[in-house]
Amino acid sequence: MVARAPGFLKFPLEIWAGMVQGWPPGYSGGSRRGAAINPKRRAMKRLLDFFWPLLGFAAVAVSLWLLHREFKGEAVGPEVWEHLKSISPAHYLLAILSTLVAYAALAWYDRIALLHLGVRNISWVFISLCSFTTYALAHNIGATVFSGGMVRYRAYHTKGLSVAQVAVLVAVCSLTFVLGTVLLGGLISVLEPEQLSRFRGMLPENFRVLTDRTIARLVGAVFLSGIAIYVIGSIFRFRPLIIKGFRLEYPKLGIVIRQLVAAPLELIGAAGIIYFALPEAGNPGFFAVLGVFIASFSAALWSNAPGGLGVFEWFFISAMPEMPKSQVLAALLAFRVSYLLIPFFLSIFVVIIFERNRLKEVLHHDDSHPTPGPAIKATGGGKRAGVP
């Protein structure tokens, strides 16, 4: 007998299903849309296509204004440059290694999703390059699900994956990130609930109760309970959820275990970049940096700001009052260069090489299979000959 999934899990799964709706062209839960789209839905989609980028740029503008207010009257540029020069070569090396750990874990996201789909014939090299390019572009451009979905579709389609399979792959990768965020957020809230007090000044008055130690531990316990239910659903094979024509199945236990290792590893690696770029004096410790990073990175993603620009910095600096703001800003700049900008420029070269090779394949295919011309009658023996 197949167990039924708890009802309260349907809402987050609806979000994950919705993230893969409407791309690539012609896909929507396994059915084609086109002319059958309701005109009201089409108008709403156009409105949202305009609204989300506008919201992202508004978030950037507000965050930059808040940062300007934070640093008003300070000589930001020279101080940040001095802090960057003061970071030891060993710490820069550790920050680079943390970047490699983070992107290796992101490649594991894709590998896990492919295993869930039963696809095992794609090499680790191809998966790593595809994942690296996807996240390097998506982290900088914004709209992670859309840009990540289109890049993956373009790459994995060459390996024989269908539109629906790529959609599931994107959903599983998104779910893996959410699982890691919830797991680490729950652990931090339970083990070090005082860390949530860092965000007290950023929360509306009605939500500041969440920073209370007891409430924080309770919230953390709820997060960890959600992870436990997800694992139980995998063990007892809860029924798949059919949401808007999209079928969501609980992964096998082996997939779930991989998700719960890969996602925290990626977040720990990314937070490690900032931790090693911060000076030792006044450093609150890795656990605090990790908690602030998870909250700041999540806020940046939800803001829809391109690259989380401004939003990420404001959240992080506001949550680290024990350290000079210019030192924190220098560490965040090192993070942006190592985790965002360098991978972004490298990913452009990967895309150019990939598209060049694809173009060569198409041209070679056309040359080896020329289109036959119109047949004409020969003047002698009644046979047909092709026009050269």
Long-range contacts of 224-229 (CB under 8 A, 24+ apart): 224/183, 224/186, 224/187, 224/190, 226/9, 226/182, 226/186, 227/179, 227/182, 227/183, 227/186, 227/260, 229/6, 229/9
pLDDT of amino acid 36: 47
Read off the pTM: 0.76
The residue extents of the domains of the chain are 79-365
Residue-wise pLDDT for 62-85, tens only, equals 555 555 555 555 556 788 888 889
User: Out of 51-55, 134-138, 179-183, 269-273, which region has the weakest mean confidence (pLDDT)?
Assistant: 51-55
Residue-wise pLDDT for 144-153, tens only, equals 544 567 788 8
> Helices 124-141 & 89-117, crossing angle to 10 degrees?
110
Cβ contact 291:302 at 8 Å:
no
pLDDT of amino acid 290: 96
Mean pLDDT of 215-241: 91
Binned at pLDDT 50, 70 and 90, residue 11 comes out as very low
pLDDT of amino acid 19: 41
Taking CA atoms, 338 is separated from 25, 92, 274, 351, 356, in Å, by 34, 10, 10, 19, 27
Alpha-carbon 307 to chain mean position: 11
pLDDT of amino acid 105: 97
Most distant pair of Cα atoms in the chain: their distance: 99
Q: Exposed (0-12), middle (13-18) or buried (19+): which is 243, by Cβ within 10 Å?
A: middle
pLDDT of amino acid 114: 96
- The whole-angstrom separation of Cα 137 and Cα 151 is 9
Closest C-alpha among 201, 208, 192, 119 to residue 155: 119
Binned at pLDDT 50, 70 and 90, residue 276 comes out as very high
pLDDT of amino acid 364: 67
For the chain, give the percent of residues with pLDDT over 70. Answer: 70
Binned at pLDDT 50, 70 and 90, residue 282 comes out as confident
Mean pLDDT of 290-308: 85
Closest C-alpha among 198, 196, 345, 340 to residue 270: 340
pLDDT of amino acid 127: 95
For residue 379, what are the contacts with CB-CB under 8 A and spacing of at least 6? none
Specify the higher pLDDT residue, 15 or 75: 75
For residue 380, pLDDT beyond 80: no
- The whole-angstrom separation of Cα 83 and Cα 68 is 19
For residue 302, pLDDT beyond 60: yes
Alpha-carbon 121 to chain mean position: 24
Residue-wise pLDDT for 28-44, tens only, equals 344 444 444 566 666 66
- The whole-angstrom separation of Cα 295 and Cα 312 is 9
For residue 267, pLDDT beyond 90: yes
| Residue appearing with tokens 């959600």 | 226
